[in-house]
Amino acid sequence: MSADDLLFCDEDAAVPVQPRPSWRVLIADDEVDVHESTVFALRGLEILGRPISFLHAYSAAEARQKLIDHDDVAVILLDVVMERVDAGLELVRVIREQLRQTELRIVLRTGQPGYAPEMDVVRDYDINDYKAKADLTQARLYTTLTAAIRSYNQLHMISASRRGLDLIVRGSSELMGERGLAEFAAGVITQINALLGLPPEGLIVARHSVDAEGDWTEAVVVAAAGTFRDSVRRPLGSLDDAHARDLIRQCLAERRNLFNGQRIALWLGETSGTVMVVYVVGIGALDEAAQGLIELFCGNVSACLANLDLFDRLKSAAYADTLLRLPNRARLVQEIDTRRESGEAENALLLLLNLDHFSETNEALGHHYGDEILRAVSARLVAHYPWPVMVARIHGDTFALLGPRERLDPEAVAQLFRQPFAVADGEQMVTATFGGLMLREIEGGGSEAIKNASIALKRAKATRRGGFARYDRRMGEVVRARVDLVRALRSAMHADELFLCFQPQVRLDNGRIIGAEALLRWKGPDGMPIPPDRFIPVAEHSGLIVDIGRRTLRAACQCQVAVVAAGFPGFRMAVNISMAQFRHPGFLGDLSQAIQESGVQPSQLELEITESMAMLEPDYVSEVIRTIKRMGVTVAVDDFGTGFSSLSYLQRLAVDRLKIDRAFTGALTRSASDGSIVHTIIQLARNLDLTVIAEGVETPEQAKMLSSMGCREAQGFLIARPMTREDLTRWLLARRETGWPVVG
């Protein structure tokens, strides 16, 4: 803002005229005629455009009290000798050291030249002049007083500027900390009145742009103090003070500071479509220094207003969803905590809902279409559930509803999804699955509530898609146990508590040992084994299975090479590959690296994938299998018979072996239907020219039945239990010594 922005208006006729400011001069002398002659000599004269007003003191003690009562004295004409010979000089010391009045100018006068002050006193106590009373003619008195007042004025302006700058710096710092328009505006009133040395009195109006065409809302009072304090949130046009209305409107129209006698209207600038004007009343005449400080203050306030806008945008980004303009997870956490602290949580329900099959729709029809679905769902939820129900978007396609239990019946919410949503000039059916809890049922804050509601939502998605699951503590215990297991599994990886065991595989027609399957095992720090069916799903869910699978593949290859080196060439090693590992972008690279580093013959390595895994994304799975086979590695379908593979699909996969699930093997001697399933699998494999191996063979009867059906290979407790790498080598050597047929 430049000096050109300062506009001084004609004073309103209704505004009372302020008395002209004057220079206050204190005459301190014990002779009455000195007071009278001084006033007479200076009567009617002006100095630097102002008249002179006088205070009178007839002793040093009285002068001291006058200075305490009046802090705006410019000059003291001080008699050196009054009630005591040193009374005047002692008062000088009091003025400078005790009263700390450093701007006040001191002119010493004496009728007794022998009592002149020492030079060091004049220097140390900042005495302007020393005159003999007899020498002070009218002209000399005027000249002396003019020099003193000019010096006082300069010091006063410097001091006022320093104090004003300090107020501006501290005030700006406080304004920077305000976190709302109303609080900010109230702070501006406080700071500008402090700058002007006035009690809080005034108001601030703001108006906002409504569109790009330049239309504005009506100006509204956003903060007020003093006689205006009841005006907050009132339109400018409703103010009773017509002078205030007119001056503020003129300031808004001309966008500049206006000074009108006792009233000023200050233009605080515009930020992101919001303009503000501060109106202050009751001020006196403003000198050049005061006007400069006001100009500087307005510039700083404009910067603070920009900071307030930045904070609002940051707050919006932190607590609002950018796509739907709904409260986000952070804001929901905040609201839950607030309601718990206020006691509103006793009957509050937190309901999470997840859109069913949204990711498939998003991928098939595009993200823009998916965004339109989210907007349609958001609009319907907000329309049906006004405050005090909060509608929030947690993430992706998951929404949250927080409110009184009687307002949030899950079945009623589900009814909102019975009708199609208007999406992209058409209609789209959308269903949702729900999980929720009563806030009173959980301990902790908002984050804990959302976490537990998410547990219920996951349970509903797993067991009753499209339905509702209510959180109970057992769900939390299961999840916490799973989390603890993940943590322990991660530690086990670093502590080498995971290891491989190997279960031999044989030909059923002659008992020849042909290979082994590598099986992952975990023995905890207490030495107790942890079952694979407990930790493998957790490893897959947590993503740890990729790293575990990489290590397992490498260790299995190394074991195969060691067995061959012990004298068993042609020994085949089968390794299970998880779905996450198979789909990982680095899987084929890991396989190639394991083969190269271990030196295993690719033809003696077999990878096992489950039937359900093989059925997912057939084109991708087929391509990866073809790449594996080009490396020379064979592929088997594990747990065959539990899925729904078709003949044509198996032909497309081009695998080498089918592995009959242990559930069918174990039921061979108990159920004719299971026997027929096994027979069908074996015939299917024969038609496709695939080898069949049965797992879980535990009795001679099972082995005999499998062999009679045409199954060539088997593994199970009948042959051997899983064993460590060292035990496997010893077991093979022992079998060969007894004449048991072994490869090689």
Single-letter code of the amino acid located at 498: L
Q: For the segment 358-389, what is each residue's pLDDT rounded down to a tens digit?
A: 877 777 777 788 888 888 888 888 888 888 88
Q: 681: closest CA among 664, 697, 696?
A: 664
More confident: 611 or 255: 255
pLDDT at 241: 85
Backbone angles phi, psi at 82, to 5 degrees: -130, -115
Nearest-CA neighbor of 58 among 91, 98, 100?
91
Residue 127 Ramachandran class (φ > 0 left, ψ -120 to 50 alpha, else beta)? beta
Does 3 or 79 have the greater pLDDT score?
79
Please, are residues 265 and 258 in contact by the beta-carbon 8 Å criterion? yes
Q: What is the mean pLDDT of the chain?
A: 79
Distance CA 125, CA 89 (A): 9
CA atoms within 13 A on the CB side of 153: 17
* Type of residue found at 50: R
* Residue 7: band (very low, low, confident or very high) from pLDDT cuts 50, 70, 90: very low
- Angle in degrees, 0-180, between the axes of helices 587-598 and 544-565, rounded to the nearest 10: 20
CATH superfamily, domain 177-319, is GAF domain (3.30.450.40)
pLDDT band at 13 (very low <50, low <70, confident <90, very high): very low
Q: Reply yes or no on whether the pLDDT at 475 is more than 70.
A: no
**Distance (Å) of CA 334 to CA 250, 329, 339:** 43, 9, 9
Residue-level pLDDT at 559: 94
Query: Does residue 165 register a pLDDT over 70?
Result: no
Split at pLDDT 50, 70, 90, the class of 715 is very high
Residue 47's alpha-carbon distances to 51, 85, 131, 682, in angstroms, are: 6, 32, 20, 121
Q: How much is the average pLDDT of 136-148?
A: 85
Tens-place pLDDT, residues 572-597: 999 999 888 888 889 999 999 999 99
DSSP string, 221-242: EEEEEGGGGGGTT-BGGG-S-H
Angle between helices 367-384 and 358-365 (to 10 degrees): 140
Query: What CA–CA distances, in Å, run from 37 to 33, 137, 144, 180?
Result: 6, 10, 16, 61
- Fold of the CATH domain 329-471: Alpha-Beta Plaits (3.30.70)
189 has pLDDT over 50: yes
Confidence category of residue 732, pLDDT binned at 50, 70, 90: very high
Give bridge partners of residue 402 from the DSSP assignment. 350, 390
Domain 493-730 fold is TIM Barrel (3.20.20)
In 3-state terms, the chain is what percent helix, strand and coil (to 5)? 50, 20, 25
- Three-class SS of residue 260? strand
8-17, 236-245, 251-260, 420-429 — which is least confidently predicted?
A: 8-17
**How far apart are the C-alpha atoms of 599 and 531, rounded to whole Å?**
31
Top mean pLDDT of 120-124, 194-198, 209-213, 400-404 is at: 400-404
CA dihedral sign, ordered 315, 320, 323, 324: negative
In angstroms, rounded to a whole number, what is the distance separating the alpha carbons of residues 94 and 84? Answer: 15
Instruction: Report how far residue 61's alpha carbon sits from residue 83's, in angstroms, rounded to the nearest whole number.
Output: 9
Whole-model pTM: value is 0.48
Domain boundaries, the chain: 23-159, 177-319, 329-471, 493-730
3.30.1280.10, 3.10.580.10, 3.40.50.2300, 3.40.605.10: which CATH number matches 23-159?
A: 3.40.50.2300
* Residue written as token pair 């020379």: 632
pLDDT reported for residue 330: 84
pLDDT tens track for 538-560? 888 777 888 889 999 999 999 99
Answer for the pair 434, 468: CB distance below 8 angstroms, yes or no: yes
> HEC states along 614-626?
HHCCHHHHHHHHH
Q: What is the pLDDT of residues 65-84, one digit of tens each?
A: 999 999 889 999 998 888 88
For residue 403, name the pLDDT band (cuts at 50, 70, 90).
confident
Asked whether residue 675 carries a pLDDT value surpassing 50, the answer given is: yes
pLDDT at 538: 80
- Sheet with 257-260, side-by-side order of all strands: 6-8, 257-260, 263-271, 274-281, 202-208, 220-225
Q: How many CB atoms lie within 10 A of CB 582?
A: 22
Cα–Cα distance measured from residue 711 to residue 554, given in angstroms and rounded to the nearest whole number: 30
Where residue 271 falls among pLDDT bands split at 50, 70, 90?
low
Residues forming a β-bridge with 390? 402
Out of 20-34, 210-224, 279-293, pick the least confident: 210-224
* pLDDT of residue 18 exceeding 50: no
Residue 596: per-residue pLDDT:
93
Which tokens go with 468? 């509702």
- Flag the least confident range among 16-30, 50-64, 640-654: 640-654
3-state SS string for 328-347: CHHHHHHHHHHHHHHCHHHH
How confident is residue 357, by pLDDT bands cut at 50, 70 and 90?
confident
